Amino acid sequence: MGLDRRVFMKTLGLAGTTLALGKSLTAAGKGKDSTEFYGILYDSTRCVGCQTCENTCAENHSLPAPTDSPEAGVIRKTDENRRTVVNLFKTTKGDVFVKNQCMHCNEPACAAACLTQAMYKTKEGPVIWRGNKCMGCRYCMVSCPFDVPKFEFHSANPKITKCDMCYDRIQEGKKPACAENCPAEAIMFGTRRELIHEARKRIGEQPDVYSDIIYGEHEAGGTGEVYVAQVPPIELGFKTNLQNESYPALSKGFLYAVPSVFVLLPVLLLGIHETTRTNKNNQNEGDENE
């Protein structure tokens, strides 16, 4: 019996540890406090495609300046050397420019995916990457519904790169470089509440000019970057099949099941083991008789 008790206590101890770990499983990505996230409202009707945002972004992050310009029919993508790009689309309402970068989701899939908290949603709103924590597994890239994080595949010391909403500037009380320098005032920085309010106001005041969809208001559980434009998002290369629930919610059910399994399954296994023991003893006797 001594052994049995020991085994049981061990199992119980292990199960307890996991339960304690399990409780904090959903701590990240769930912000019910009253802190207001900062975000950016981008207005396609104002953008003139001058690439000032691209240039100033490159300058601020010590990256090479862009060498190509927006062109209809060509999709320029962000990569390890550019964190924002402007594309040109031919739409039902003529030429429309769209800027792309990290969407800074309210509940980012990348941060929920990160097993070291390297990808991190700051309380100010920007989703940032912390190199001293990252192990380069690229699970953030697999999880991000917008395919935003990029990886330096040709470096021995690779980084995950993406727009960080100029987090260092925000901490100094300044606006992100693109918002600060946009000559057309197409990029507006503020709290997300202000931005949604402003977006609704613009649409409401000029319903003929704007499409009535605010992209990012609900997509992927809501994003820090929100868009208004002349035409619906589908004409501008946006992903329109995204769910309105946040992406971390997809694996929540599984993670919630973990603590229960960890407590109940060992007990069940131990129970079966105990009840089948007589079986084993009978067989052992049989072996000895051989």
Partner 1 sequence: MKMSNITYPIAKDNDGKTIWKFLISEFKPKGKIFTPFNIISVPVILLGIVLIVIRFWKGIGSITNLTQEVPWGLWIGFDVVTGVAFAGGAYVLTFIVYILNNQKYHSIVRITVLNGFLAYVFYAGALLLDLGRPWNVINPIIGNSFGTSSVLFLVAWHFLLYMLAQLIEFSPAVAEWLGAKRARKILSGMTIAAVIFGITLSTLHQSGLGALYLMAKDKIHPLWYSEFIPILFLVSSIFAGLSMVIFEGSISHKVFFNQISEKHHKEQDGIVRGLSRICAGAMFAYFALQVLIFIHQKRWDLLGTPMGYWYLLEMIGFVLVPMLMFVSGYRSKSINMIKTAAILTMVGVILNRLNVTVIGFKWEEAIRYVPSWMEVVVTLTVIFTEIWIFRWVVRRMPVLRDAPLWAKNQDK
Contacts with partner 1 in 232-271 (CB under 8 A)?
A: 239, 241-243, 247-248, 250-251, 253-255, 258, 261-262, 265-266, 269-270
Question: Interface residues for partner 1 in 110-129 (CB under 8 A)?
Answer: 111-118
- DSSP collapsed to 3 states, 27-90: CCCCCCCCCCCEEEEEECCCCCCCCHHHHHHHHHCCCCCCCCCCCCCCCCCCECCECCEEEEEE
Minimum distance between the CB of residue 190 and partner 1, rounded to whole angstroms?
28
Phi, psi of 227 (to 5 degrees): -125, 140
Asked whether position 48 contacts partner 1 by CB under 8 A, the answer is: no
Q: Which of 153, 143, 85, 94 is nearest to 119 (CA)?
A: 143
Measured from the CB atom, is 59 or 256 closer to partner 1?
A: 256
| Minimum gap (Å) between residue 244 Cβ and partner 1 | 12
- 259 backbone dihedrals φ, ψ, rounded to 5°: -60, -40
SS3 assignment, position 109: helix
Q: How far is the CB of 75 from partner 1 (least distance, A)?
A: 11
The nearest distance, CB 58 to partner 1, in angstroms, is: 18
Which of 26, 55, 60, 191 is close enough to bind partner 1 by CB under 8 A? Answer: 26
Which of 44, 68, 39 has its CA nearest to residue 55? 68
**CB of residue 232 vs partner 1: minimum separation in angstroms?**
19
The Cα 290–Cα 286 span in angstroms is: 7
Per CB under 8 A, 81 contacts partner 1:
no
Q: How many residues bind partner 1 (CB under 8 A)?
A: 74
Q: Is 58 or 148 the residue whose CB approaches partner 1 more closely?
A: 148
The stretch near partner 1 (CB under 8 A) out of 97-105, 204-212, 226-234, 272-280 is 272-280
Check residue 10 for interaction with partner 1 (CB under 8 A): yes
The yes or no reply on residue 85 touching partner 1 (CB under 8 A) is no
* Nearby residues of 139 by Cβ (< 8 Å), 6 or more positions away: 113, 114, 115
CB of 70 to partner 1, least distance (A): 20
Secondary structure (3-state) at 119: strand
**Within positions 136 to 175, which residues make up the interface with partner 1, using CB under 8 A?**
136-139, 141-143, 145, 147, 150-158
DSSP state of 213: -
Give the DSSP letter of residue 165.
Answer: T
- Which range, of 27-35, 97-105, 190-198, 206-214, touches partner 1 by CB under 8 A? 27-35
* CB contact burial 186-223 (16+ within 10 A = b; e otherwise): bbbbbbbeebbebbeebbeeeeeebbebbbbbebbbbb
User: Residue 1 or residue 3: which is nearer to partner 1 going by CB?
Assistant: 3
